[in-house]
Structure 1
Amino acid sequence: MISVNEALHILKENLPHPRIVQLPLQDAFSRRLADDLLSPEPSPRYTSSAMDGFAVRWADLGNLEETGQVLLKIAGESQAGLPYCKTVAEGEAIRISTGAMLPDGADTVVRVEDTEEVQDSVLILRCKKRGQDVRYMGEEFPAGARILHKGQVIKARQIALLSAVGLSSIPVYAQPRVSLFITGTELAHHGDGKIKPYQVRDSNAPMLQSAILEAGAEVVECLHVRDDLDSTIAQMTEALSNGSDIILCSGGVSVGRHDHVKAAAEQVGFKELFWKIRQKPGKPLYVAKRDRTLLFGLPGNPVSAFMCFQNFVMPSLAALQGVELLKTVTSAVAEVPVANTGKRTDFIRVDITNEPNAAPSFRPIDRQGSHMLTSIVEADGYIAIEPGCCLQAGELADVFVF
């Protein structure tokens, strides 16, 4: 039996390299960037007007402060999408719309409310400075500027920016592919109304499917596997053929006569990385590897399975997406003393309190039993306390947020 830190180190040394795919922008939502992105063009793409008004030469407004007005001839119009293609000459003004290209020769925009039109001319009444209300080409960023960083998640805001600079496809990390096996003859479907007195409704399948999706991965298949060796071997072989990055088994990893996950894994070519960890809950965790596929044998107990997923499977799914963490780790103050008098690392589920103008604090929830799903539902996260350690009230600790 090894420590939690030893297990995490072994797992880190055996993580497969993430796969990178080039996806059309519309298919890249919620994926993580596999490289920095540089803009192929400047933003704005051209110099334009920030207001409706008139594009003028600042040199023609030299007497405005003395006379209070300057009369210019309206020589044309620049609309968004329909620019004025001539050069603005001395004494001319060009009617211009917001977003329209600033014509050559002009260097200033006078707002329409600061003018009066007189037949085919315009009277300029006010203008504060040269370059007023002009949006200059490249003032946001030049061509070649880094606009998004490797590892960023592509959401609506990022899609808007990438579309604006003309990037139609981007490199992202491929979604990790996960096959999920739920073992246990005693399990009944969670939607069954009436079940036998000796049956238990399956909570692991829906829980782990949701956890996989929450981690940004894809559930390739979710199967209920009978408690016999041949069925377990057959399903593992199929999962290897469908390109699964991770095979996730729930149950069947202990030492009972009907626990077949470990034996089946060895028969299909998996090499054991570790089995059994000095932790509570989740001691019988089994992890093995074949080529680039990792196999996690989670305990069948739902809380133990969930905690093992959080502490071991989640970092693996993060690495397959080019990042170290997918969840938040926050520093918080213990509200009460928290001790571990046992011989295993204890994953203690805690409730986090956030008050204005104060550091976050936490306290263990009342029910910590590994068979009690409320111990993860009512908790905001968990702390890892080593054997023989005690956190005093007021002491800081890392809280792994669910």
Structure 2
Amino acid sequence: MISVPEALSLLRENLPEPKVVYVPVEEALGRRLAEDITSPEPSPRYTSSAMDGYAARWQDVQNVSELNPARLTLAGESRAGVPYEGVVAIGEAVRISTGAMLPDGADTVIRVEDTNEQGDVVQIMACRKQGQDVRYAGEEFVAGTVIMAHGLVVTARQVALLSAVGAHQVPVYDTPRVSLFITGTELAHHGDGDIKPYQVRDSNAPMLKCAVREAGGTLVNCMHVEDDLETTVDSMAEALEHKSDIILCSGGVSVGRHDHVKEAAERVGFQQLFWKIRQKPGKPLFVAKKGRTLLFGLPGNPVSAFMCFQNYVIPSLAALQGVDYLKKSLSARAEVAIENSGSRTDFIRVTIRDEPNTVPTVKPIPQQGSHMLTSIVKADGYIVVEPKTTLQPDDLIEVFRF
């Protein structure tokens, strides 16, 4: 058996390089950017009006008041999408709409409420400063500015900005492809109401399907495999044909006569990275590699499978998406003494109390049994406690959120 740090180190050394694809901007939603995005053009693209009003020259309006208005000849109009083609001359003004291009010659916008239009003349009765209500080209950013950083998850906000600067195709990390197969002749579908006394409802398939999606992966297929070597071999070969980045097996990785995952993996060409870790739960975890495909043989016990997924599969899915982690950990203080008197690293499930203006605290949930699904349902996360170690109250510990 190897230690948890040794297992994580071996895994990091064997992670495949993430793949980069270019997708239309609207298909980038929820994906991670594979490089910094620089804008090909400035924002705003052109100098425009921030208000409905009149574009004029500052020299014509700088001294106006209600008692001393300026009378300017209306030379035309600049509308959004239909700019004024001429040059605003001395003594002239042009009607202008919000967002419309500021005409050449004009440098100031006077709001409608500060004017009085009469025929082909507009009276200007107030103007605070030169350049008032003008949006200048490039005032937000100039062409070549980095507007989004590598690794950013694209949301609707980013889609808006990418579209605004004309970014049609954007580089993102390809979504990791995951194949899942669940071993166990004793398993019944979770929706079956009437099952045999010797059967158990399958909770691993629904759990792992959702866990893959939560971690940004795409499930390409899911199979139920009976405890038979040849069937297991065929299922692994099929998963490889789907060009999966990760193959997740649930069950069949221990030392029983009907545990075939390890042998089947070797038969189809996988090279073992490690098998069995000094940890609980999840001791029999098996990890192998063929080409750029990683195979995780998770324990069949649902809690053990979930904890191995959290500690090993999620970091692998993160790496395939170009980042070090998908979930941020936090530092918290132990509320009570937390002891690991055993010889294996313990993934202890905890609740987190996080109140304003205080350091978060954690305490173990009462039931830690690896056969108890409530030990992950009632917990907010887990802490890693090394063998023969006791955390005292108020000791700081890193907490990994579920």
> Are the aligned partners of 2:57 and 2:90 in contact in 1 as well (CA < 8 Å)?
yes
Of stretches 299-308 and 362-371 in structure 1, the one that deviates more from structure 2 is 362-371
SS at match of 1:109: strand
Distance 2:256 2:131 in 1: 80
Partner of 2:241: 241
| Alpha carbons 1:381, 1:401 under 8 Å: kept | yes
- In the other structure, the counterpart of 1:110 is 110
User: Pairwise mapping of residues 16-27 of structure 1 onto structure 2 (< 5 A)?
Assistant: 16-27=16-27
Q: By how many angstroms is 1:122 displaced?
A: 1.2
Structure 1 match to 2:361: 361
Normalising by structure 2, we get a TM-score of 0.98
Tell me, what secondary structure is at the counterpart of 1:167?
Answer: coil
Residue matched to 2:175: 175
Unaligned 5+ segments in structure 2 are none
1:84 alignment counterpart: 84
Give the Cα–Cα distance (whole angstroms) in 2 for the partners of residues 166 and 332 of structure 1. 45
Q: Provide the C-alpha distance between the structure 2 equivalents of 1:210 and 1:102, rounded to a whole number of angstroms.
A: 53
CA-CA distance at 1:119 after TM superposition = 2.3
Q: Deviations over 1:144-182 (max 9, x none)?
A: 111111111111011000000011111111111111010
1:252 alignment partner in structure 2 = 252
CA offsets, 1:284-326, max 9 Å, x none?
Answer: 0000001111000000000000000000000000000000101
The alpha carbon displacement at 1:65 in A equals: 5.6
* Equivalent residues of 1:68, 1:126 under 8 A apart: no
In structure 1, the residue corresponding to 2:26 is in which secondary structure?
A: helix
The aligned residue for residue 209 of structure 2 is 209
Distance of 1:91 and 1:389 partners within structure 2: 85
User: Do structure 1's residue 32 and structure 2's residue 39 form an aligned pair?
Assistant: no
Matching of residue 149 in structure 1 with residue 184 in structure 2:
no
Partner of 1:75: 75
Distance 1:341 1:153 in 2: 42
Aligned residue runs from structure 1 range 122-161, under 5 A: 122-161=122-161
Assess if the C-alpha contact under 8 Å between 2:66 and 2:126 holds in 1.
no
Corresponding residue for 2:226? 226
Q: Return the letter of the residue paired with 1:220.
A: V
> 1:12 deviation in Å?
0.1
Q: Secondary structure at the match of 1:316?
A: helix
Find the counterpart in structure 2 of residue 97 from structure 1.
97
Q: Could you tell me how far apart the structure 2 residues matched to 1:304 and 1:379 are?
A: 14
The one-letter code sitting in structure 1 at the alignment partner of 2:361 is S
What's the counterpart of residue 276 of structure 1?
276
Whether 1:328 and 2:307 are equivalent positions in the alignment is no
Residue 118 of structure 1: how far off its partner (Å) = 2.3
| 202 and 66 in structure 1: CA distance in 2 versus 1, 3 angstrom threshold | closer
Report what 2:371 is aligned to: 371
Shift of 1:239: 1.1
| Partner SS, residue 237 of structure 1 | helix
Q: Does the 8 A contact of 1:253 with 1:261 survive in 2?
A: yes
Structure 1 residue 67 displacement after superposition = 5.4
Task: Write the distance in 2 (CA, Å) between the matches of 1:114 and 1:291.
Answer: 72
- The percentage of counterpart residues that share the same residue type is 68
Instruction: Confirm whether residue 3 of structure 1 aligns to residue 3 of structure 2.
Output: yes
- Does 2:302 correspond to 1:302? yes
C-alpha contact 2:62 2:127 (8 A) present in aligned 1: no
1:186 aligns with 2:186: yes
Say if 1:351 and 1:378, in contact at 8 Å, map to a contact too: yes
2:115–2:126 contact (8 Å) kept in structure 1: yes
Aligned to 1:399: 399
> Structure 1 residues 201, 66: closer, same or farther in 2, change over 3 A?
closer
Deviations 1:13-49, CA, capped at 9 Å, x for gaps: 0000111111111221111111111111111110000
Which residue pairs with 2:314 in the alignment?
314
Moved more, 337-346 or 63-72: 63-72
Match of 2:197, SS?
Answer: coil
Q: Is the 8 A contact 1:35 1:150 kept in 2?
A: yes
Return the letter of the residue paired with 2:9: H
Q: Distance in 1 between matches of 2:359 and 2:94?
A: 58
**TM-score, normalised with respect to structure 1:** 0.98
For the residue of structure 2 that corresponds to 1:23, the secondary structure is strand
SS in 1 for 2:129: coil
Distance 2:339 2:73 in 1: 84
Q: Which amino acid aligns with 1:285?
A: L
**Equivalent pairs, count:** 402
Residues 62 and 130 of structure 2 are in contact (CA less than 8 Å); yes or no, is this contact kept in structure 1? Answer: no
* 2:62–2:129 CA contact under 8 A, matched in 1: no
Give the Cα separation in 2 of the matches to 1:272 and 1:167: 44
Q: Secondary structure at the match of 2:35?
A: coil
